[in-house]
Every structure is written in C-alpha cells, then in structure tokens.
C-alpha cells in the first residue's frame, strides 16, 4: 500500500487534525502566504511522489479564499507526482447552486466541480450535498457520506415518546425518513417556498405533528430562515418543544440571534464539518464526523467499498428496515 499524505488548508485545521488522529498519520505541513499583489502562494512541505494525497478543506467563509487554497493545493500535489489526489470537502458550499432558476446565471456547483478536477482532483470525498444531483457534476468518482447516523446516536439517549421528525421541506423528506427510521419515529415535512436567501414561506405541514415534540432535521443551517418559519407553523399546531439537528451548522450571526433564546428550541445538534461558532452557545452540541472521514479515507486507500460503510445508513445501526410513511 502506498503511503498516505494528508494536507489541510486554513479553513478547518482542527477537523483535519482529528481525522489524522483517527488515521494514525501526521497532518503534513503546508505553507500558505500572500504575495504583495494579493495572490496566494502555496507550497506543500511533504514528499508526495507516488503517494496517495488527501487534501482536507471545507468550503466555508471566506469561501472564495478557501476554494482558491484548495485548488492550489490540488495542483501542487499533482505537480509533485502524487499517485492519486483526493479532495476531501466536508462541506461543498456551491452545491446550493445546482440549477438555472433565473436568466443569465451560472450553475456554480458544476463550474466549481470542473475547476476541482482541472486543478488535479482524481476523486472527491464529501458529506451531505445540499442537492444530490451535484454528485453528477463531477467527472471523477465522488464518495458521498452521510451524518444522520451520528445525529441519530445523539437522540437515542433522549425520551422520544410523542416525538416526530420534521423536515423543513419536501426535498429533504427522504433523508428525514431515514433518520426517523433509525429512531423508530414518525415523520412529517413542511411545504416550503424560498423567496430569497434568508426568506422562506412554509404554507403547510404534511403529517401529524399536533401536540407532539419535534426533531427538525435539515442538511444545512445558514441564516436560520427556514427553521424560524417552521417553528411558527409548529407552534400553530401546539407543538410544545423542538430540537434542531443539521449536518452543516454554518450559523451566521443572524441565525444565532434568531435561535439563541427562542422559547420553543430545546437544543441544537450539528457536526464539525464546518468550524463551530466562536461564541459560547449552551444549547449547541457538536458531534464529530472525523471517525467517518478517517474510515472512508482508509477504505479509499485500501480499495474497499465506501457504500458498505452505510449499510443501514451507518455501520452501527444494523440492516435497513421498512421506511415509515408520513404521519405513521
């Protein structure tokens, strides 16, 4: 087996260190600095010749800065004669730009995918793409991980009597159904229409939520607009308490202000695909996905199956079970 070289940009080095800790390999150093003309300079400080190179970099704010770092690291690894270069992108920000829903706009999710492969990525490892069709934008293999098993583990310690899993929109309903199945709970979903980046309208909830506690599951929370709108609809149906769970907790300041002291919210659970908020937030719990990424990297390196890692959604959760219908 060829040696593994793991590199990281400046987007989320603690996650890269945790992944390396589970792999039992060091995080190789990278020099990143800026020329006087504001151009970035990247130099890999490890021999990459004929080795499997993994470059860990979620696309988080400042997104364009971190994307350029990633492209330069991929290009440098390819130029250093790496045997295989894998872009490990825990959060692929441009997945939200997956279709041409207005005149004269770019489908940025596809454009960034082309840029990554042009820069030197032979493979992409990511988690919970906002739009599943983005998987098809890449001309190289994509391994797509899910965190719903990790999030479900958190709620297994809770009293789940009279609880329902709620998706903010119908597009996320399949994932919410898988999550509900892991917990043995019924599922419901909102009928959502997005008016702007931070404004949505939810005009109905499909499924029985009246008088029940809810676990709201979303893939990503940025401004909190969808969650806030859903909380209002749940309050109208006498839902007394809501726990919020998501994979990518981006949490802009607007989201923190909206959710910090909301009377219905009992807790917020997310993962460390992106850096957590710097300010203390007692309601927030962050679950680590470093073991999942480390196991995926091990399997990629050894030529083993990634899909079998999620038999039954997660290796610790047994074989798949029948899906529960809405309101069951």
Active site positions, annotated: 192
Phi, psi for residue 10 in degrees, rounded to 5: -95, 5
Looking only at the bridges linking them, the beta strands covering 84-89 and 163-167 are unpaired
Q: Which two tokens stand for residue 5?
A: 């070289």
C-alpha angle 245/258/167, rounded to 5°?
Answer: 35
Q: Residue 69: name the closest of 135, 144, 13, 15 by CA.
A: 13
| Cα–Cα dist 95/162, whole Å | 35
Residues in the chain: 328
Sheet containing 187-196: give its strands across: 199-206, 187-196, 163-167, 213-221, 242-249, 265-271, 284-287
| Cα–Cα dist 255/29, whole Å | 34
Looking only at the bridges linking them, the beta strands covering 40-44 and 30-34 are antiparallel
| Cα–Cα dist 294/310, whole Å | 14
Q: Look at residue 303 and give its three-state secondary structure.
A: coil
Q: Which two tokens stand for residue 319?
A: 């074989």
- 22-38 burial: b if 16+ Cβ within 10 Å, else e: bbebebbebeeeeeeee
């Amino acid at each position: 087996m060829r040696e593994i070289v793991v590199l990281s940009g400046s987007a989320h080095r603690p996650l890269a260190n945790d992944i390396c800790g589970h792999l039992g390999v060091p995080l190789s150093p990278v020099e990143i600095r800026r020329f006087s003309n504001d151009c970035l300079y990247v130099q890999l400080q490890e021999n990459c010749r004929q080795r499997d190179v993994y470059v860990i970099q979620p696309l988080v704010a400042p997104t364009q800065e971190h994307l350029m770092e990633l492209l330069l690291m991929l290009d440098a690894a390819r130029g250093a004669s790496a045997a295989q270069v894998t872009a490990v992108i825990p959060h692929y920000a441009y997945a939200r730009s997956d279709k041409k829903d207005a005149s004269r706009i770019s489908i940025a999710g596809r454009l960034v995918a082309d840029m990554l492969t042009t820069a030197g990525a032979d493979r992409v490892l990511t988690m919970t793409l906002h739009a599943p069709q983005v998987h098809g934008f890449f001309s190289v293999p994509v391994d797509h991980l899910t965190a719903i098993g990790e999030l479900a583990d958190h709620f297994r310690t809770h009293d789940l009597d009279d609880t329902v899993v709620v998706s903010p929109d119908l597009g996320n309903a399949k994932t919410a159904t898988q999550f509900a199945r892991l917990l043995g709970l019924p599922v419901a979903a909102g009928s959502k229409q997005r008016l702007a980046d931070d404004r949505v309208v939810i005009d109905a909830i499909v499924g029985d939520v009246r008088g029940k506690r809810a676990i709201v599951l979303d893939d990503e929370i940025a401004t909190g607009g969808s969650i806030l709108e859903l909380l209002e609809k749940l309050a109208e149906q006498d839902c007394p308490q809501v726990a919020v769970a998501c994979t990518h907790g981006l949490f802009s300041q607007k989201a923190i202000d909206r959710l910090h002291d909301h009377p219905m919210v009992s807790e917020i659970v997310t993962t460390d695909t992106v850096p957590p908020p710097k300010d203390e937030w007692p309601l927030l719990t962050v679950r680590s996905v470093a073991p999942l990424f480390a196991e995926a990297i091990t399997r990629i390196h050894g030529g083993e199956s990634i899909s079998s890692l999620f038999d039954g959604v997660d290796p610790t959760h047994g074989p798949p079970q029948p899906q529960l219908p809405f309101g069951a």
